[in-house]
Amino acid sequence: MTKEHLLDNATFIEIFSISSEIERARKVIELTEKAKELKCQREFSRMLKVYEKELANKVSFDNEIVIKDIPLNGLHLNSFTCNNKGIFKKGEKVCYTPVIICEILTNKETKNEKVRLAVYNIRTKKWETFVVDNKCLTSNSRILRLNDYKVSVDSENAREMVKYFTELKNENINIIPTGECFSSLGWNGNDFAPYNNLNILDNADDFKQIFNSIREQGEYNKWLEIVKETRKNKYVKLAMATTFASPLLEKLNVMPYIVNLWSSKSGNGKTVGCMIAMSCWGDPSTKGLQFSSDSTLNYYMKVASFLKNITMYCDEFQKVRSSNLDELVMTLANGKDKGRLNIDRKSEEECYWNNTFLFTNNEKVTKENYGEQVFNRIVDVECDGVVVESNEGNKIVGIIKENFGFAGKIYIEYITKVGFKVINERVQKYVEKLCNDYSATAKQAVCIATLLVANELSQECLFPNEDNLTIDDIKESINSKQETETWRKAYRYIINDFTANDNHFDTSYTECWGRSADYYYEVNKGKLVERLKNGQFEFDSIKKDWEKNGILEKNSQGRYATYTKFGDLKKAYYVHINKIEV
């Protein structure tokens, strides 16, 4: 070390960047001895006192940010200074927390700008990083959100902190690195997060529990041994196929769908079977990838959009209130959040997902009044036997809670290697067979076909020499074209309703709806519309299909309702409905 080097500003910056008083004292002693050797002890001592005085007055001695282990070197400021004591401006402390911008990110999906901040924890002497929206740094109110990340910002210093970040960013525009980020797990181009380390999730902190759950833990062979044994049960195999199908949907342009493992009997191992399935991807416990069924609709949508291409598993789905069930099921199957305006009256980023949903339940999810679009994307599987033996359940759960997360990465690598064009051809073969031989609707056939192919793919890379999951294993869950048609379900509903209320077709009854004959009903149109609405059907939506299939007859004026009267009834509009088998 030369005299010039010893008396350089960098030497004194290094001294006062040492947070430990003891270590700093040792460094001073060491350099003092060096100054003696170089015969410049007086100059060194004088410079040391000047720096000490400047620091005591809270005036920074250099506008370069030099803090131990800083994630990004070379950052400079103009009117502000940042050191291990905090952020300063003209000798006055602005913030007690040292914080810098270490990366500028552009969200590949939304094109919005994000920034990665690094905060120096004064207690632990370590840097912690997190990603926030750039808007958080440009508004006096939004910047207060940094308090959640241990940055001491309040209403008093918010304005100056906004100025600090503006200066820091603009003064170092050529130094701060840039990159891309994403808002969800799953496919981002040809990469699948979180298995590709280059993928940065800008909201991983918001879903920390989920993000941290998708990992490998324990021993792969221990997991594989117990899972192979449980896969002898077709319901376990089907639950696992549901999770393996999830990454296929986006690549094959298949809409989200729900697989509901249901049984009126409790204690038959449905939950354990689904936990085995989720252990392919990560921690299958309630602290990990097992979600509660009594959450809000907004929670379901936010979690689904974060998982995006990874299965969302909800246990005990019967907990969902019946008043909320229809909307929830339809929203999840739709794959898209409702549009909203934010506080600035601008459209918020919409949530999207394209994954499978795995439910356990005490009953079927599908209801007669569901529309064809949703009805086609629910696979209700009745577990009429045991899924996992009760005396084996605790043992299995104990193993998969300690050993998990290996299969997902292996599976993703394999299907990428096989190629989605080849996979789609395999799916289409099943679709054709399901439609032709089992009268399945095209939409549900695609769902079931992806389950069967996903199971085959998993066997090829994880579970060789197994018996395949076949169409016959799941044929009871196939909804035929006739069962899913809305007009047909509406007609069956109204005929059952009229039969249960046959007294209302007695013209002498106080509240008469019309009249009934051997082969038809003549029913008050207003009452018909009302009764259909009770079953959540709309007359105007089904009347043309009813006419086409011989249920309705138009009058001579080409109308469905005729203005007439029966017996002592007042004149009204009546609709002629034929009694036929559909």
Q: Are 313 and 278 in contact (CB under 8 A)?
A: yes
Q: Largest Cα–Cα distance of the chain, in whole Å?
A: 126
* CA proximity to 380, closest of 365, 398, 368: 365
Query: Rounded distance, CA 432 to CA 430, Å?
Result: 5
Query: Rounded distance, CA 379 to CA 356, Å?
Result: 11
Query: Rounded distance, CA 378 to CA 242, Å?
Result: 12
Give start and end residues of each alpha helix (H) in 231-296: 234-252, 270-278
Query: Rounded distance, CA 171 to CA 134, Å?
Result: 16
* CA proximity to 522, closest of 580, 487, 572: 572
Q: Which helix (H) or strand (E) holds 409?
A: helix 407-418
* CA proximity to 379, closest of 304, 441, 459: 441
> In this structure, what token pair is assigned to residue 287?
């602290």
Query: Rounded distance, CA 514 to CA 497, Å?
Result: 14
* Residue 261 burial (C-beta neighbours within 10 Å; 0-12, 13-18, 19+): buried
Provide the terminal-to-terminal Cα distance of the chain, rounded to the nearest Å: 97
Helix (H, G, I), strand (E, B) or coil at 95: strand
Question: Tell me, what's the pLDDT at 199?
Answer: 59
Query: Rounded distance, CA 496 to CA 295, Å?
Result: 35
> In this structure, what token pair is assigned to residue 565?
């009267």
Q: Are 128 and 121 in contact (CB under 8 A)?
A: yes
Question: Tell me, what's the pLDDT at 345?
Answer: 54
Q: What's this model's pTM, rounded to 2 decimal places? A: 0.75
Question: Which residues in 517-578 belong to E strands, given as ranges?
Answer: 520-524, 561-564, 572-578
Question: Tell me, what's the pLDDT at 323?
Answer: 56
* Residue 146 burial (C-beta neighbours within 10 Å; 0-12, 13-18, 19+): buried
**Tens-digit pLDDT profile for the chain (582 aa)?**
788 888 887 788 778 767 677 888 888 999 999 999 888 898 989 988 888 777 655 444 447 888 888 999 999 998 898 988 899 987 789 999 999 999 999 888 778 899 999 999 888 889 999 899 999 999 999 999 999 899 999 999 999 999 999 999 999 999 999 988 888 899 988 889 888 765 577 766 678 889 889 999 999 999 999 999 999 999 999 999 999 999 999 999 999 999 999 998 888 999 999 999 999 999 999 989 999 887 888 889 999 999 999 999 998 887 776 556 777 888 898 898 865 555 555 556 678 999 999 999 988 887 766 667 677 889 999 998 899 998 899 999 999 999 999 999 999 999 999 999 999 999 999 999 999 998 888 999 999 999 999 999 999 999 999 999 999 999 988 877 667 788 988 999 999 999 999 999 988 888 899 999 999 999 999 999 999 999 888 999 999 999 999 999 888 888 999 998 877 778 899 999 999 988
Q: Which helix (H) or strand (E) holds 16?
A: helix 9-17
Question: Tell me, what's the pLDDT at 206?
Answer: 73
Residue 44 identity:
F
Please name the residues in contact with 287: beta carbons below 8 A apart, sequence gap of 6 or more.
209, 213
Query: Rounded distance, CA 390 to CA 118, Å?
Result: 49
Pairing of strands 178-181, 99-107: parallel
Question: Tell me, what's the pLDDT at 322?
Answer: 57
Pairing of strands 257-262, 378-382: parallel
Question: Tell me, what's the pLDDT at 60?
Answer: 44
* CA proximity to 202, closest of 103, 138, 107: 107
Q: Are 300 and 319 in contact (CB under 8 A)?
A: no
Query: Rounded distance, CA 199 to CA 193, Å?
Result: 6
Residue 19 identity:
S
Work out the angle at residue 270's Cα, subtended by the Cα atoms of residues 265 and 275, and round it to the nearest 5 degrees: 160
Q: Are 203 and 392 in contact (CB under 8 A)?
A: no
Q: Are 47 and 7 in contact (CB under 8 A)?
A: yes
